[in-house]
Chain A
Amino acid sequence: MNNVFVYCEINEEGHIAEVSLELLSKGRRLANKLNVELEALAIGYRLENIADEVFTYGVNILHLADDKRLFPYLTLPHASIVTGIFKEEQPQIALFGATSIGRDLAPRVASALRCGLTADCTSLEIGNHTELKSNKVYQNLLYQIRPAFGGNIIATIVNPDTRPQMATVRDGVMKKEPLPSPFSGKINHVEVQKYLSDVDFVVQIIDRHIEQRKVNLKGAQIIVSGGYGVGTPENFKLLYELAETIGAEVGASRAAVDAGLADHERQIGQTGVTVQPKLYIACGISGAIQHRAGMDKSAQIISINKDPNAPINQIADYTIIGDVAEIIPKFIHFYKLNSK
């Protein structure tokens, strides 16, 4: 009762989605802090192999709703099962990925349970809260921290009176932390028929085209990222060359994507991917708040920019002032000279 729940998304290969593993890691920390258990809920078909995957993250109870009709994802059957289980188990916190699935499902569930939901949190913490009007003190609420207003403000949201406290979090925002030693939890096989009815299946999928993501920014240790300042496709090729040389992935700012210099899937920032590489090399990127939101947790940042006052320089560890078209070839040259 009153545990922390994570909705585990199932990907095309039948595994738990990365974002869900990240949420399990965060959920484990929150559960420890609150001294409660961590429970996972996975809904799909042929889920027998996911248990080990999930228990590595310290899940105490895994609820498995396994039925042929539950994959691919459909809103209504998943919402009925999640709502039904939450009503019985009364979680205090429930986390979902801010993905096409999580952002479709979580609001439907929150509405049915009449509880609060905060989208796209960038940080989750436990803390107390005093209601100003009544002076009532609430212990151990979930602080749901997220940017709002186009990223110009950061708001901390709480749900004092309703449960569960629901939040969605984007891919790559939380860190994946498998437990060092083996862990085994319990499995609860959900009796799906109890929650489903025929009206849950009125919407039908006629056709699906799922493309594999080609670019793996999230997994990259080093990212060479280009902005509008890179200027031309020829200059952008230099970034690929550098990335190839030092074993990096290529990212981009929205302005670069809008200008056609890079594909959308390479966009980093509030409306793109959130990354935390060991090294982020920002080339011709000014560092607007929406861009920084997706990369400011990088361990080391190098900015290459003509403008000494570009905002990105303020969060960079190293700033090279000058033209990307001249600096990158030099960088490649000296790398080849010095590495082996």
Chain B
Amino acid sequence: MSFRIIVLAKQVPDTRNVGKDAMKADGTVNRAALPAIFNPDDLNALEMALKIKDQMVDAEVIIVTMGPSRAAEIIREALYRGADRGYLVTDRKFAGSDTLATSYTLSLAIRKLEPFHLLITGRQAIDGDTAQVGPQTAEKLGIPQITYVEELISIDLQQVVVKRRLEQGVETVKSPLPVCITVHGSAPACRPRNAKLLMKFKHARTYTELQEETRDYTQLRFEKPYLDIEELSGDALEADEEKIGLAGSPTKVKKIENVVFQHKESKILNNSDQDIEWLVRQLIQNHIIG
């Protein structure tokens, strides 16, 4: 049996590059204008998995992502960098999942891949910045967790030793397997795409994607079954309807406000001796400084 590493990765809108067109005229977020990217921390997570695979005699890296059909893009991206195969957990019924429903759904998919040795996730996804899905998935699976991992120290078939990056320092911990590791953005960056793997996997598709293709892939897929990206629906996972999607999400969004500037009456001063001395005196008089 090979050493099995499962990586959780998410496709997210690129909130770091929110340009002017990202906000619509009515002040709401224009999701369409935001490029969808591989969640940054999840690339660090993938790298950690690939590094372990490099060291082991017989290891495989499986990428699992939950999202709409389009999220298959990041599975391909992971295949180009060295992952062995991927699963897209997708169903309309999953829409509106909060972190609890997401971790429940992901844990069902992971159970299908048991026995596994390591579950690796990013520390947090940049769309919500919650950092909850890793620990919650670990709890659902009944395995321990090690969060904010920055460096892999050693690994064998029984245990892993890693370094964690905390607010006030570092900690080295060891855990038996299986364990869930959440990887910090300060961990080594992911290797680039590999040209050979890009050629090998560029036609990898989910069933849904194939429906939309004009080209006939029947023969190709018969010869190369590794091009299948398997989709897992709620039914396939035998998910409890009460625990998925909106129904399974205890947190409800009551209100969304777009951030607008609150104009204050700002006193404008110039770079003149007069103005600056006036301000300094004001501050001293009002006991703000001095």
B16 and A150 within 8 A (CB) = yes
Cβ contacts under 8 Å, B280 to chain A: 331, 334-335, 338
Binds A, one of B69-77, B112-120, B121-129, B192-200: B121-129
Give the contacts of B70-114 with A (CB-CB under 8 A): 98-100, 103
Determine the chain A residues whose CB is within 8 A of the CB of B140 once the complex forms: 111
Find out whether the CB atom of B259 lies under 8 angstroms from the CB atom of A289: yes
The chain B residue sitting closest to A299, CB to CB, is B288
Q: Are A208 and B99 also in contact (CB < 8 A) when A75-B145, A114-B250, A143-B254 are?
A: no
B256 in contact with A204 (CB, 8 Å): no
Distance from B6 Cβ to chain A, minimum over Cβ atoms (Å): 18
The answer to the question of A104 belonging to the interface, with a C-beta cut-off of 8 Å to chain B, is yes
Given known A203-B179, A314-B266, contact A112–B148 (CB-CB < 8 A): no
Q: Tell whether, in the assembled complex, residue A108 and residue B252 are in contact, meaning their CB atoms are under 8 Å apart.
A: no
Give the Cβ gap from B223 to chain A, nearest Cβ, in Å. Answer: 43
Q: Which of A192-227 contact B (CB under 8 A)?
A: 202-213, 222
Known: A104-B135, A152-B259, A320-B275. A116 touches B174 (CB 8 A): no
Assess A159 versus B268: contact at CB under 8 Å? Given A107-B132, A112-B139, A335-B290: no
Q: Which residues of B contact A110 (CB under 8 A)?
A: 100, 132, 136
**A148 interface contact, C-beta 8 A:** yes
Check if A152 sits within 8 Å of B290, measured CB to CB.
no
Interface residues of A in 152-175 (CB under 8 A from B): 152-162
Q: Which residue of B is nearest A148, CB measured?
A: B128
B250-283 CB mask vs A (1 if < 8 Å, else 0) is: 1111111111011110111111010111011101
Contact with B along A224-258 (1 / 0, CB 8 A): 00000000000000000000001100000000000
Q: Is the interface of B mostly helix, strand, loop or mixed?
A: mixed
A99 at the interface (CB under 8 A from B): yes
A116 to B250 CA separation, bound complex (whole angstroms): 5
> Residue A25 at the B interface, CB < 8 A?
no
Out of B100, B135, B253, B284, which one reaches A157, CB within 8 Å? B253
- The answer to whether residues A314 and B250 also contact, given A108-B138, A119-B129, A206-B174 and a CB cut-off of 8 A, is no
| Closest 3 A/B residue pairs (Cβ) | A150-B15, A322-B271, A116-B250
List residues of A whose CB falls within 8 A of some B CB: 12, 72, 75-76, 79, 99-100, 103-104, 106-108, 110-112, 114-120, 129, 131, 143-144, 147-162, 202-213, 222, 246-247, 278-279, 289, 300, 302-303, 308, 311, 313-323, 326-327, 330-331, 334-335, 337-339
